[in-house]
Amino acid sequence: MKRKYTAFTKAFKQQTLDLASQPNTCIARLARDLGIRRNLIYKMEVEILKKPRLSSQAKTIKI
């Protein structure tokens, strides 16, 4: 039996992180309300906020 994976849009991830960043927000409760796992919110944070953009990673290569 295959697992079903849900692909969340970037807008959904950003809205989730906006909700999570509010004062006195319980991440476990937020995850439960959204129907996702708690660790997924932390993964979204790494993906959206801490991942360097491609343009900042680009290096000039001289040939």
Write the DSSP string, 41-58: HHHHHIIIIISPPHHHH-
What pLDDT, on a 0 to 100 scale, did the predictor assign at position 61? 58
Query: CA–CA separation, 30 vs 13, rounded Å?
Result: 13
Q: How many residues does the chain have?
A: 63
pLDDT band at 29 (very low <50, low <70, confident <90, very high): very high
Query: CA–CA separation, 41 vs 14, rounded Å?
Result: 10
- CB 16, CB 41: distance < 8 Å: yes
Mention every residue, 6+ apart, whose C-beta is less than 8 A from residue 6: none
Assess whether pLDDT exceeds 70 at residue 54: no
